[in-house]
Amino acid sequence: MNKSSDITVIGAVPEGADDPEAAARAVREMFTSIAPRYDLLNHLLSFNVDRMWWRRTARRFAAVLSQPDANVLDLCCGTGDMTFALLRQAGKSSGRILGADFSHAMLQRASAKSAGTSLRWIEADALRLPFSSERFDLVTTAFGFRNLADYDAGLREIVRVLRPEGECGILDFAEPPGFVGSVYRTYFKRVLPVIGTVISGVRGPYAYLPSSVEHFPGPAEMLERMRAAGFREVSWTPYTFGIAGLYCGRK
């Protein structure tokens, strides 16, 4: 992404939010407002490619998920699609998978979808997780990390709750270069907000989405932030021409 070197990116900046607490409150309110149509819009606006991204991310951590005693946290889980992908990848493993989000409305939908499974859900702020240190073998987050009010604090909190050698996977949008990037930006900034607003009946969240991606640090900067937070073996793998990508790191 093209970011001026004199701009310090701290975290998400929804319109009208002038401090981290206001930003977090605005993000929670936005996602609560679109919870009823969230799954439909995710699949529709991504042309169902999002399902492939979740599956691919889960496969990346197959070794951890296959461990019978693995503790896994899916952070900023929303309605749980990434969490379900982790469960499917784990198969018959008896590991424990927990989804966490600070939107009660999102978790209500996740809970309704997970009836009959071993998945568990907890309402929690990603910047102040209610877990002891060194608890999880794997922490993932899909399309939620970008919305944190403080990216570095979020990374440090992930490091804190990971066990030594624990792994982290952050799946999020990016801005691809070249012709694909030009087409993508046109769709993302002009088409997607209109469709999202019409179907959800709420304007704010889908107007915020393109700006949140533009504001999010690019791969090189994110990898440096991960190193600074305490990760090693950091990497970024682009998905679908770089429209999205997976950041990985080990504590």
pLDDT tens track for 130-166? 999 999 999 999 999 999 999 999 999 999 999 999 9
Structure tokens at 98: 């927990």
Cβ-based burial of 170 (10 A; exposed 0-12, middle 13-18, buried ≥19): buried
Half-sphere exposure for 74 (CA within 13 Å, toward CB): 28
Contact between 57 and 82 under an 8 Å Cβ cutoff? The reply is yes
Residues 44-96 pLDDT 10s = 777 789 999 999 999 999 999 999 999 999 999 999 999 999 999 999 877 79
In this model, does residue 29 exceed pLDDT 50?
Answer: yes
Burial of 189 (0-12, 13-18, 19+ CB in 10 A): middle
pTM for the model: 0.90
Please report which confidence band the pLDDT of residue 16 belongs to, taking 50, 70 and 90 as the band edges: low
Element (H, E) at 241: none
Q: Is 74 left (phi over 0), alpha (psi -120 to 50) or beta?
A: beta
Would you place residue 202 in the very low, low, confident or very high pLDDT band (cuts 50, 70, 90)? Answer: confident
Element (H, E) at 148: none
Average pLDDT, the chain: 89
Contacts of 110 (CB under 8 A, 6+ apart): 77, 78, 79, 80, 83, 99, 101, 119, 121
- Give dist(CA 23, CA 147) in Å, integer: 9
3 — pLDDT class (breaks 50, 70, 90): very low
CATH topology of domain 20-250: Rossmann fold (3.40.50)
